[in-house]
Structure 1
């Protein structure tokens, strides 16, 4: 009887161990499934970073270990694009899933512009909100505030900005570093504003009696070219575009921007680490005026532009370290890209050209920021998702940042209305390396409009100078252009006269995409 009694408890103990292991495995499996169904997503958006500016894309004159690490641990795309060769329209396309050239008023905005993103349609952050995520934007905004025709009062809560298009939290500056007002906004309020020193902004005429770059060049610590508009109100020893008065206590110093944005992004990750989050981290680097933190100045050997790339890479490293600190690496998709191609001389005498030292920011491409050539829209694009994406892989699939909206909507099984994200393709399998099939067709916007299909690129005729004031070729030509990108990535051989039938076919397809009002096949 005693033996049977002991055997019974021995069997019970064995069953308990087995059941415990099974429960643990089940729990672990469910946790893994939950992680894969609601991964955190961080989109790191560099500014004016070129295809050839990173080590993993061929740069040899500058070291970018953190972005290179991201690629070694993830998937690097070689044929990824923005929707436009300049900042405001590319950001519009990213957040709305709509080609920016479809909508008037999506050009490069002044700092006092009204909101250009529709509030009654799906946006990228709204897709995440609908999936139960906390959403945040940190960094450059440049998409406007308030209703059309409304004058922005910077001294009161500024409604209808990031909050109106799907962001629960925001820490931003309004436009670009070279445009007023030079202040941070956190959740609709100017940070550090003194009510006794109200802010006023004007882009038409000078206001107040503050020194300007045009009238007081002796006060500048970074001299500017007279033809770029950087000769208005001086802030932190740098002439800006537009006039500003007041808010002296609230104005940032350029050297603190990188750290301020990084600190807020890391704080957002830490605060929301226990629940799914989406962070749109829109960096200021390497847009002008290039004035990185003192710890990076002079370290690249490529002037202030190179130093700003070092600061950008440091920022990426801080984000990756924070994810590791909280054990969020496997549960977080990190996407890194740029808003458009590179520019060197963009209005400030910062040594970007003189100190290039053999570095080629556009790599094998032609053109740059603002160009219809590949250098305008083809940018670095890296995706890391440990445990899902095979590390150290490369994809030649044609993709566009405009596709993120439909891709994540599809991932979350959300249905988009026909009028929403009309140009966004659902390519989640491609973005995670499960498929090598990308877009069939892409329209690129630069100095002119171009269309790409099956490696062939047609740039429609357009009038105007072929070179911009920043020295970039913009792709304009009164004659049609046709390039075989598979054989001629540098777009040197115009085959329009040799392939008239193909040229006309692509021109007709471009016109159809225009008139249809959409380019995807979603009904």
Structure 2
């Protein structure tokens, strides 16, 4: 039996009037589900056993899929982390926001206070809102975050009631936790400094040959500046020794804080953004997961991610909340193997295909960059099955606002479509009819309309790199129904279709929004 909440509007106003205070309109006027969005990091379409992986098992995520709706055409909005996270929260394609590429260590808040977000929309609806895990959207304002003071603005200024964060990424400095507005366990006598230049000649960096010999995980490219926990990072930092985390403990910290948030708000409707760092580099899962797969640390990190999902669902079961909780499982972008560290991801790949049948991965606008695992689970409400509807993480603000009974304010979430019925697997539900895809930032973009997809690059040069490749030509055209792996470029043989899609792409770029009723709500 579902655990339902009831609020009587008349009663709330009457009690307030009797008390002689101005009544506050009740935010929750109907039964509402809890919502948990679990966003993996660098997880590909083929990385889970429920999506066809045979070299490892992901039983907890598989259970979500078996009990819920597994999407064959679920997307993130970009093939890199910061843009997807920005779009997921704001409902706006990140290429529209200057500076919304991969955020550097000293980035300040990319989402400004006053911006409507999925968190602010749900908070208005009466939800308690929290984010735990990787942030990578900047903190503070001005030239750099005030690491030794208040890190404001941040998540609490855009709709979250609580946050416990890794402020950047695990391969970028500083390697500390942030809870609400402060670095956790920071000793004022040992201030934290973050910068772009080596602070002193004796500061340990991974590029020093003698230091490199001592690393517990060697770098392959980049990631050779400040050494922390035996691993080179991007950027420089000093101080904050008591505040520093250990890579192996990150997943445990996310689970601990998330469970505490759920327990605290079990009697409220709550929204939790569980922002996993797995399987972002450096892949250094807890010792109990190391060696659990034959795929090396990358495979072990997938198993650790699966454990996290299991801990969250066990908590919901223990508290009797599972049947009143919608879980959305997704990823911020597609997979990458060598992303700067020598961790065996390539050498130990065996028969595993991280992108499934799809071409490309992280940094790419081919399908492998943005088509990722996407699962919705709500026992008793969502019927188990698979869906071919096109849905995207950028649609979660509009869709979850609808679920909570909220209308989108005029001018908010300009690219977020209400695909709630598709997420819930309702009969005759409609998904997206088109979707824009981006890598880190413009001008490279792709547009899918129905089964057709056009890729538009900044130049015509072919590229081949460890983490990124593209074919020759400035434009590519594919029919995904006939050619889901994007191997047959039809740009020359279908010039009219190419022209049509490029015109639509230019229109979406210049319009500033893609949601038709953007200014009418």
State the shift of 1:466 in Å. Answer: 4.1
State the shift of 1:151 in Å. Answer: 2.5
Contact 1:117 1:165 in 2 (8 A): yes
2:485 to 483, 487, 490: 490
1:88 to 58, 65, 82: 82
Task: Quote the Cα distance in structure 2 between the aligned partners of 1:120 and 1:153.
Answer: 21
State the shift of 1:411 in Å. Answer: 2.5
1:330 counterpart SS class: helix
2:313 counterpart SS class: helix
1:97 to 79, 91, 106: 91
1:78 counterpart SS class: strand
Is structure 2 residue 77 aligned with structure 1 residue 79? no
Partner of 2:467: 471
Is structure 2 residue 476 aligned with structure 1 residue 481? yes
Listed as ranges, the matches of 1:6-25 within 5 Å are none
State the shift of 1:207 in Å. Answer: 4.9
Partner of 2:19: none
Task: Quote the Cα distance in structure 2 between the aligned partners of 1:511 and 1:167.
Answer: 34
Task: Quote the Cα distance in structure 2 between the aligned partners of 1:504 and 1:406.
Answer: 31
State the shift of 1:79 in Å. Answer: 0.6
Task: Quote the Cα distance in structure 1 between the aligned partners of 2:171 and 2:246.
Answer: 12
Task: Quote the Cα distance in structure 1 between the aligned partners of 2:471 and 2:123.
Answer: 41
Is structure 2 residue 171 aligned with structure 1 residue 178? yes
Contact 1:35 1:331 in 2 (8 A): no
Contact 2:415 2:514 in 1 (8 A): yes
State the shift of 1:467 in Å. Answer: 4.0
Provide TM-score, normalisation by structure 2: 0.91
2:130 counterpart SS class: strand
1:352 to 345, 350, 353: 345
Q: Deviations over 1:77-102 (max 9, x none)?
A: 11111110000000000000000011
Task: Quote the Cα distance in structure 2 between the aligned partners of 1:357 and 1:244.
Answer: 37
Task: Quote the Cα distance in structure 2 between the aligned partners of 1:28 and 1:178.
Answer: 41
1:294 counterpart SS class: coil
Partner of 1:46: 40
Is structure 2 residue 442 aligned with structure 1 residue 449? no
State the shift of 1:28 in Å. Answer: 8.8
Partner of 2:11: none
Contact 1:461 1:476 in 2 (8 A): no
Task: Quote the Cα distance in structure 1 between the aligned partners of 2:285 and 2:267.
Answer: 33
Structure 1 spans left out of the alignment, 5+ residues: 1-24
Is structure 2 residue 62 aligned with structure 1 residue 68? yes
State the shift of 1:300 in Å. Answer: 0.6
Q: How many residues align?
A: 493
Task: Quote the Cα distance in structure 2 between the aligned partners of 1:158 and 1:466.
Answer: 42
Provide TM-score, normalisation by structure 1: 0.91
Listed as ranges, the matches of 1:310-329 within 5 Å are 310-329=303-322
State the shift of 1:468 in Å. Answer: 5.8
Change (3 A) 1:204 1:106: farther
Partner of 2:254: 261
Q: Which moved more, 1:161-170 or 1:403-412?
A: 403-412
Task: Quote the Cα distance in structure 1 between the aligned partners of 2:91 and 2:451.
Answer: 23
State the shift of 1:31 in Å. Answer: 6.5
Structure 2 spans left out of the alignment, 5+ residues: 9-27
